[in-house]
Structure 1
Amino acid sequence: MQESTPPEKTTLKGKTALITGSTSGIGLASAHILAEQGINLVLHGLMSDEEGASLAQEFSKQYRINAIFDNANLMDSDAISHFMENAIKAMGSIDILINNAGIQHTESVDTFPESKWNAIIAINLTAAFHTIQLALGGMKQNSWGRIINIASVHGLVASKNKVAYCAAKHGIIGLTKVVALECAEHGITANAICPGWVDTPLINDQITDIAREEKRSFEQAKYQLITAKQPLPEMMAPRQIGEFILFLCSDSARSITGSSLPMDGAWTAQ
């Protein structure tokens, strides 16, 4: 029997990735991982134009890539349209789309503010719909694309006091599945990564509060917080998620699409 010819290997160097929420945490770490491979970047986040331009310049200089910045308001569909149009005009196309931006508010359902619900759904879910919709044309034209949505373990299971966050993260997993089905024949994959505890400044603030309230050391409070949900007693570094994103962009992952991929220390195995 004649062996089939393997598909031509894709070179990631020179492709362009757009990462929402890429000025800190998971987004920034992922930007560094991709830039190390020669992938051009569209950075986005809560910075002034001057600060963002400086960050983009740092990336360009360090990795010898093209990098630009935009601080578009992801609650505004018109702002997202301008953001995507400007990015595509500047870079030619968006080959890799990483929807990472997100906000959080914790409160019980009966008192959860409507304004917080609307903001979380807009930024954590609706913005991803808009960016995907606007990126797909170029991806289909090029017969190649990678859409990676940063969901959460809370897209798979729920926790008290996180009604809007859980709703948005469950929603983005559904969005991911539909995009994967519709784009499977176009060389485009769509996947959702579902992290558990990630070591970020926001989490460290929460640990500090627990330590103060319960009169424990920082390390004791950290262990308590992690193991209350997650059997693996350690937080993940943001860079680990960036490395997983890079794998999902590779040829080795071309058959992985429509998946909700936990990185949760066995949180959802229970």
Structure 2
Amino acid sequence: MENEAAGELAGKRALITGGAGGIGAACARRLSRLGAVVTVADRDADGAQRVATEIGGEAWQVDLSDTAALEGLALSTDILINNAGIQHIDPVEEFDPATWRRMLDIMLTAPFLLTRAALPGMYAAGWGRVINVSSIHGLVASPYKSAYVAAKHGLQGLTKTLALEAGERGVTCNCVNPGYVRTPLVESQIADQARTNKISESEVLETIMLASSAVKRLVEPDEVADLICWLAGPMSGMATGASWVLDGGWTAR
């Protein structure tokens, strides 16, 4: 598959947030193999530079929670992948409002602002791809994740709205909705879930994370990256405004 597709994104510029690890790093490597020039954006400057050096791309240290700094931004990119995310687990009545605001800024307001900054160039070129990495929690809810679920549901709405606005101008916009992916973000949740649900860490994977999945394993970052890179490519022009699910059958129930 990679040999056949090699070079299909040659000459394209791609920007991916949260690119220093997990899904973001997997996407950066895959996009580079397909010929794109990739900007790896992350708050972790060293991690972003490490991935960028590996793939011959560029690194951009950026704090997406500083939304005021993003408002006047202009981006020159053909492919924008809004992937950065954080997680916090607490009941609503105990959820810190500052944490709520920070999570919404990073996972909803920042994607809006980055998309806003990239669209003029995409419209001028008559071609563009905006891919929002949501989550199965953009479609369903789980307890104790109010900010994450709210942000990801909002990202679904932003995706659909842009798809309707941009379709006639050569720009597509899609959401990718994986279940639990084998990333540091998910691995760090295990202790939090054990604490909040008052169970052992060994029970979290079986009784919470994979309880609703027909396929009893975590999603691999490369699986998500393959789907994202297809959506970023030339054969996906009729795919827009959709939620692409990689959940092992979670939402089949």
Q: Is TM (by shorter chain) over 0.5?
A: yes
Percent of aligned pairs with the same amino acid: 40
2:52 to 52, 56, 68: 56
Q: Hey, what does 1:198 align to over in structure 2? A: 181
Aligned-residue offset at 1:252: 2.4
Aligned-residue offset at 1:266: 1.1
* 1:39-188 aligned within 5 A: 39-48=36-45, 52-60=48-56, 67-81=57-71, 84-85=73-74, 88=75, 93-188=76-171
| Equivalent position SS for 2:212 | coil
Aligned-residue offset at 1:253: 1.5
Tell me if 1:32 matches 2:32: no
Aligned-residue offset at 1:224: 3.6
Tell me if 1:20 matches 2:3: no
Amino acid at match of 1:105: H
- CA shift in 2, pair 1:158/1:215, >3 Å: closer
Q: Hey, what does 2:231 align to over in structure 1? A: 248
- Distance, in Å, in 2 between the alignment partners of 1:74 and 1:207 is 25
Which deviations, in whole Å up to 9, do the C-alpha atoms of 1:103-158 show, x marking residues without a partner? 11111111111011000100010000000001000000000000000011111111
Q: Which runs of 5+ in 1 are unaligned?
A: 1-9, 61-66
| Equivalent position SS for 1:255 | coil
- Distance, in Å, in 1 between the alignment partners of 2:162 and 2:204 is 40
CA contact (8 A) 1:73 1:80 kept: no
TM-score, normalised with respect to structure 2:
0.88
Aligned-residue offset at 1:222: 3.4
CA contact (8 A) 2:172 2:239 kept: yes
CA contact (8 A) 1:17 1:40 kept: yes
TM-score, normalised with respect to structure 1:
0.83
CA contact (8 A) 1:194 1:264 kept: yes
Amino acid at match of 1:32: R
Which deviations, in whole Å up to 9, do the C-alpha atoms of 1:16-61 show, x marking residues without a partner? 110000001110111111011111011111323x55444422221x
| Equivalent position SS for 1:107 | coil
| Equivalent position SS for 1:58 | helix
| Equivalent position SS for 1:23 | coil
Q: Which runs of 5+ in 2 are unaligned?
A: 1-6
CA contact (8 A) 2:89 2:192 kept: no
Aligned length: 245
| Equivalent position SS for 1:148 | strand
- Distance, in Å, in 2 between the alignment partners of 1:164 and 1:79 is 22
Aligned-residue offset at 1:180: 0.3
- Who wins on radius of gyration, i.e. which is larger? 1
Amino acid at match of 1:27: G
Amino acid at match of 1:44: A
Q: Hey, what does 1:238 align to over in structure 2? A: 221
Aligned-residue offset at 1:247: 0.9
- Distance, in Å, in 2 between the alignment partners of 1:259 and 1:215 is 37
2:244 to 261, 266, 270: 261
**RMSD (Å) for aligned C-alpha atoms:** 2.3
